[in-house]
Amino acid sequence: MNENPGKETRPLDKLYPEKRGLNTRRGMLAVGLISALFIGLAGIGAWLIAPLFFEQFQQVIEPPASLEEVAEQYPELAGILLDPQLDSAYKDIFIAYEEGGPKRALELARRYGLVDQNNDLRLTLELDTNDSAGLVQQLEATGIKITAVSDNLVDIAIPLSLIEQAIESGEPGKIFAPIQDLEHIIHIRLPRKGIRQVSNSGGESLPVISADEWQGLGFTGKGIKIGVLDLGFDKYRDLIGEELPEKVTARSFISGVELDQTGEPHGTAVAEVIYDIAPEAELFFAAYSTDAEQRLAVDWLVSQDVNIISHSVRSIYGPMDGSGDEAKLVERTVAKNVLWVNCAGNDAETHYWGVFVDENGDGFHEFRDGDQFMSFNPVGRVRMALNWDAWDRGDQDYDLILYDRNKNKIVSSENIQNDLGDDAAEFIEYGFSDEGPYYIAFFARRITRPGIFNFFIYEGENLEYKTPEYSITSPADSEGSLSVGATYWSDDVLESYSSLGPTLDGRIKPDISAPTGVNSVTYGEPFYGTSASAPHVSAAAALVWQAHPEFSPQMVIDFLQERAVDLGPEGEDNSFGAGRLWLGEVAEGELAPLPATPTQHANPTQTPMAAASPTPLSTETRVPTLSVSPTPLPDIDTGSSSTLMLVLGLVACVAFPGVVGLSGIGFLGYLSYLNYREVLSSYHRLPAVPQPGMGKRADEPAQESMTAGRGCPRCGTKNRSKARFCRYCGVEFRFAAALEAGWTECQNCGKYIHPGSRYCRHCGRRTR
C-alpha cells in the first residue's frame, strides 16, 4: 500500500523492467547461433585452404599398370602390347580402340601427331642393315607407302583405308601384321621430327658484328655456297629479289609436300638473315620433317658442294653427349670439308636435369622435397622427351607419364628397354586444348641404379623445376658442330632461353654466341631465338672464307672464336662460348678490291649505325645471365619452394580460422558487454519505494521512533523510518514494493524473481 497518497507510484511492471533484447531467450539463442556460424566458417575455411597448400604432400599416385597387366586385360592385343619393337604410342591407339572404338582411336592418333595431312598413319622403321631395297618392295606390295629411305631408316605411311579395313574386321592388330613379319626390322617407332628455334618478340646486327665494314670493303660471301637445312620455307617465293637473292636452289624432302607449302616459314626467316650479311653467297634450301628425310636432305646439300650448312633446328631426343644419331650425321658431314653451324637451342627454361630419387619406394621420381609431379602449361601441341644415362645399353627402364590438373593419367610413353641398342628415352607428342596446368611424372619400371635424367619439353611454359645447365640439344652437342648461343643485339646480354652447356660428357658448349632480335620481313616482327643467331655465324663464316679461301672449316671456326668479344667469365664458358660474334677490323692481307658495282639488295632492313666496337655493348637495360662452370655437375636445387608452400599453408590454415575465431570471440564479448549494460541499466531504472513521511511539509518533523517505522516485508521486523536496510534480515527497502507485490527471492543466488516465474532470470535455477 502506498503510504504517501499525494505521490503517484509506478505500475508494478515498471518496478522491475521487462526483459528485452539479449536478456530474452530469443536473444541468447541468437547469440548461440552466431557463435556456431563463426565456428563453422573457421572450419570451412581451414578445410578449403588446406588442400591448396598440402595437395602435393597428400597426393598418392597409383603406379601405372605394366604392359603384361594390360595384355591380360586385352588378351587379343597381347602380341602387339608385348612387342618390344613397337613404340608405346601405337599401343595406346589399340587400347583406345578397345575402350572407345574407332572414333576414339583415330582421335588419339591425331592428338599424338601420328596422322599426317593426308590421313596416313606415319611410322619409321629402324633396320639392322643399310640394304633396304628388298624390304621396300615387300612393303609396297602390301599397299603401304614409302615416304623416305636413308641408310637404316625407312619412313612409311599406312593409308587410312587399310586402317579402317583392319578396324572393321574386328582385328586392329592386322594393321602391323605385314610389318612385324618382315626381317631386319628392329624398331617400329615414331618419326623423329626436328624442332625450330624461334621466339618472336627487334634490332639490327650488321654493325654489332662489324659485317657492314667487311661488306664495305667488298666481302659479301661471293663464291661461297650456303645450305639452309630447315623444316619449311613458306613465303620464300615472295621475297626473291628483295630479301632473298634473285636465284636460290630449293628442294623438299618431305613426302608429298612442297618446301613452301609446309605451313612453316622458319627456313625463309633464317635465309633472310644470311642474305643481309652475305648478300652474294649462293643459297640452297632443303626442307625435311623426319630424321630419315633429314639424312636425305644433307646428302643432297653435300652433293651440291655447299661449303656451309646452317641448321637452326634441334632435337630434344638423344643422349646429348655427341654420340647420338644426329651428332654422328654432323661428324660425317664435317669430314667432307663442310662447316656445320647449329643453333644451341632455346631450352634453358624448359629443361630438367636430376638424379633419380625415390625415398618412399613407390617407383616414382621425387623432383624436390618429396614432390612426384612437375607442372607446366602447354601451348598447343607439346613434345616432351625423357632421356637418361643408359643409352644403347638397355639395362634401365623408365616411363614418362602425363597427368591432367586433377592428377588423372592422360597418356604415357612406356617403351620396353631390355636389350643392347635400345634408346634410353621416352617421347610424348600431344595436342592440348587449354593451358592447364598439367603434370609430368617419371616412373622406374625396371632399374638397378639411380639414373640421371635429361628432360626437355617443347611448347611448354612455366616448367616447375627447370634446370638451365646441360640444356644443349642435338646436334649442337656434336664435336663437329659450331654451336651458337643467343645474345640480345643491343646490349650483349645472354637471352634467358639460350641453352647452356656443358654437354653430358663435359665439353664446353655453345662454341660462340651471336645477336638475336633482328627485323624479319618473313615474320613481320623481330626474329628472336638461337635460330636467328646461328645464321649470323653462318653468313659471317662466308665472309671469312671469301677473304681466306685457303681456310679449312676448323680454321674458319678458330678465326671466329679468336675475334669474338669475351663475355661472362674470362675465356670460354658454357653460356657465351668464346664470346659474342665480332669479325673485327679487316686485316691488310684480307683486303680485296671493291667490285665495280657493289651488290645491294632492295629494301634493306638495316638501320645505319656506327661501326661496332670490339668491347661489350652497354648492359644498362638488361640483367646479365650468369655463366656456368663446365666441370662440376649442378647440384639439384633443394630450395625452399615446397617448404615455403608448407609454411604458407600452415600459416593460412592457422591464421584464417584463428582470425575468424577471434572475431567470433570478440563479437560474443561485445554482445556480453551489451547484455551486462542492459542488466545494470535495468537496476538503475528501478523506482525508489516511497518512504514514510514523504509528501509532508518540509518543516514537519519526522518521526524517529520504531513504532513510527514500518515493518520489514520479508521478516516483519520493525525498523526506523529512514533505514535503507532491514536491521534483522538486511533486505533493501527500495525493493519493498516489489516484495509486497509478490516477488520472491531465489534460494540459490538471492536475487528477486518476478511473480509466476519458473526460473531465476539471473542464475537459471528452477524455482518450483
Average confidence (pLDDT) over 525-548: 95
In the chain, the amino acid numbered 676 is Y
Average confidence (pLDDT) over 722-745: 71
Average confidence (pLDDT) over 496-514: 96
Query: What confidence tens digit (pLDDT) does each residue in 133-162 have?
Result: 877 887 777 778 888 887 888 888 877 777
| Closest residue by Cα to residue 189 from 291, 287, 320, 296 | 291
Which run of H or E residues covers position 528?
A: strand 527-528
- Whole-number pLDDT of residue 583: 95
- Whole-number pLDDT of residue 513: 97
Statement: residue 52 has pLDDT above 50: yes
Average confidence (pLDDT) over 637-643: 41
Confidence band for 311, pLDDT divided at 50, 70 and 90: very high
More confident residue, 259 or 678: 259
Statement: residue 627 has pLDDT above 80: no
Q: List, edge to edge, every strand of the sheet that includes 153-158.
A: 145-150, 153-158, 121-127, 185-189
Average confidence (pLDDT) over 638-654: 49
Q: How many angstroms separate the CA atoms of 93 and 119, rounded?
A: 15
Confidence band for 183, pLDDT divided at 50, 70 and 90: confident
614 near 584, Cβ under 8 Å? yes
Confidence band for 618, pLDDT divided at 50, 70 and 90: very low
Average pLDDT, the chain: 78
Query: What confidence tens digit (pLDDT) does each residue in 331-381 have?
Result: 999 999 999 999 999 999 999 999 999 999 999 999 999 999 999 999 989
- Whole-number pLDDT of residue 1: 44
Question: How many Cβ atoms are within 10 Å of 508's Cβ, its own excluded?
Answer: 20
176 near 324, Cβ under 8 Å? no
- Whole-number pLDDT of residue 426: 95
- Whole-number pLDDT of residue 86: 77
- Whole-number pLDDT of residue 171: 67
Statement: residue 5 has pLDDT above 80: no
Q: How many angstroms separate the CA atoms of 483 and 534, rounded?
A: 8
583 near 540, Cβ under 8 Å? yes
- Whole-number pLDDT of residue 613: 34
- Whole-number pLDDT of residue 61: 65
Query: What confidence tens digit (pLDDT) does each residue in 238-250 have?
Result: 999 999 999 999 9
Confidence band for 634, pLDDT divided at 50, 70 and 90: very low
More confident residue, 621 or 416: 416
In 117-261, which ranges are E strands? 121-127, 145-150, 153-158, 185-189, 195-196, 199-200, 225-230, 249-252
- Whole-number pLDDT of residue 662: 65
Query: What confidence tens digit (pLDDT) does each residue in 191-208 have?
Result: 776 665 444 433 378 889
- Whole-number pLDDT of residue 101: 74
More confident residue, 392 or 314: 314
Which residue's entry shows cell 660462340?
Answer: 512
- Whole-number pLDDT of residue 412: 93
- Whole-number pLDDT of residue 145: 81
Q: What percent of the chain has pLDDT over 70?
A: 70
692 near 699, Cβ under 8 Å? no
Instruction: For Cα atoms 13, 14, 15, give the angle at the middle one, nearest 5 degrees.
Output: 95
Bridge partners, 115 (sequence order): 121
The angle, 0 to 180 degrees and rounded to 10, between the axes of the packed helices 160-168 and 88-111 is 110
Phi, psi of 666 (to 5 degrees): -60, -40
Question: How many Cβ atoms are within 10 Å of 44's Cβ, its own excluded?
Answer: 13
Q: How many angstroms separate the CA atoms of 416 and 83, rounded?
A: 8
Which domains are seen in the chain, by residue range? 67-189 (no CATH), 195-343+472-590 (3.40.50.200), 351-464 (2.60.120.380), 689-768 (no CATH)
Statement: residue 447 has pLDDT above 60: yes
Q: How many CA atoms lie within 13 A of 299 on its CB side?
A: 10
Q: How many angstroms separate the CA atoms of 367 and 344, rounded?
A: 26
- Whole-number pLDDT of residue 656: 57
Question: How many Cβ atoms are within 10 Å of 161's Cβ, its own excluded?
Answer: 11
Q: How many angstroms separate the CA atoms of 512 and 561, rounded?
A: 7
Bridge partners, 114 (sequence order): none
Average confidence (pLDDT) over 527-537: 95
Question: How many Cβ atoms are within 10 Å of 620's Cβ, its own excluded?
Answer: 6
Name 101's Cβ contacts closer than 8 Å, sequence gap at least 6. none
| Closest residue by Cα to residue 640 from 376, 439, 368 | 368
- Whole-number pLDDT of residue 664: 62
Query: What confidence tens digit (pLDDT) does each residue in 108-121 have?
Result: 777 777 777 677 77
Q: How many angstroms separate the CA atoms of 641 and 350, rounded?
A: 18
Average confidence (pLDDT) over 16-35: 59
Q: What is the pTM of this model?
A: 0.67
| Closest residue by Cα to residue 261 from 237, 291, 295 | 237
| Closest residue by Cα to residue 522 from 212, 205, 242, 225 | 242
Statement: residue 66 has pLDDT above 70: yes
Q: How many angstroms separate the CA atoms of 326 and 584, rounded?
A: 33
